[in-house]
Amino acid sequence: MIKMSVVKRIISVLLIAVSCLLPVACGQRKEQAEKAPVSDGVYTVDFTTDGSMFHVNEMMDGKGVLTVSDGKMTVHIVMPSKNIVNLFPGSAEDAQKAGAALIAPQTEKVVYDDGAEEEVYAYDLPVPYLDREFDCAIVGTKGKWYDHKVTVSNPVLRVEDGKYTCSVTLTGGSGRASVESPAQLTVSNGVMTARIVWSSPHYEYMTVDGTQYDPVNTEGNSAFEIPVTLDADIAVSALTTAMSEPHLIDYTLHFDGSTLEKAD
């Protein structure tokens, strides 16, 4: 008969062998990227880091361009110079291992406010998730690698100039008012303007971020053209004369970017 101690040792060895087939147990699994929380498309995003030596060019205003394709995310960032010669989506230690897939630079021209032009490096960096720090190592012209944490956040869908329709919801007030949906949107030079048509002809003006907007029509239900952003709660106020006295009422508009369609 096989002794019980021998059986236990055999079972222990088998368990270790099986566990090592699992990357998690053997420490070989890299942190998996999540499926993009936004739809496929191109977005402007905030790109922040944990150090002053690694940041985007001043003309980018702290922004990068996020491309989402088949649920995978990549951010395009433009550097201040050519001093950073490679990136790596991980730690500095892993970047220096044999076979590490370094991210090569692309050369781009930047035009500054004073008209000066400069060729700088830009990179396409894989993004595992939004709104949380992840590892990104950099190496400069002197060959020394540095660890950094970066965060990609606040995606805003970039839309080509043109005319569109988009579903919009209205909340706030007494709940009796509504706006026409889908709304008509116009994008010009990257600025998005929506035509808001109320369910009443008694609105005299709207305010958005402290700016007053007057009606753009003289007949029918009150209509206004205001600047908007997709997939964000937009605080607005509207003055109605439908009551015994004029009342300025607070509302919230929300445009669903997934419903955006090119107008005919």
Domain of 192, in residue numbers = 162-262
End-to-end CA distance of the chain: 84
Q: 253 and 222: one domain?
A: yes
Which helix or strand (DSSP H or E) is residue 6 part of?
helix 4-19
Residue 251 lies in a domain: yes
User: Using one digit for the tens of pLDDT, what is the confidence trace for 29-63?
Assistant: 344 566 788 888 899 999 999 989 899 999 999 99
End-of-domain residue from the set 134, 157, 180: 157
User: Using one digit for the tens of pLDDT, what is the confidence trace for 107-144?
Assistant: 999 999 999 999 999 999 999 999 999 999 999 999 99
Higher pLDDT, 107 or 190: 107
Q: 139 and 213: one domain?
A: no
Alpha carbon distance 197, 217 (integer Å): 10
Q: What is the pLDDT confidence band of residue 6, given thresholds at 50, 70 and 90?
A: low
Q: According to the model, what pLDDT value does residue 33 have?
A: 61
pTM exceeding the 0.85 threshold for the entire prediction: no
| Dihedral sign for Cα atoms in the order 122, 43, 148, 26 | negative
DSSP-derived letter for residue 35 is P
Q: According to the model, what pLDDT value does residue 169 have?
A: 97
User: Using one digit for the tens of pLDDT, what is the confidence trace for 195-241?
Assistant: 999 999 999 999 999 999 999 999 999 999 999 998 889 999 999 99
Q: 200 and 237: one domain?
A: yes
Instruction: Name the residue among 188, 185, 194, 206 with its Cα closest to residue 261.
Output: 185
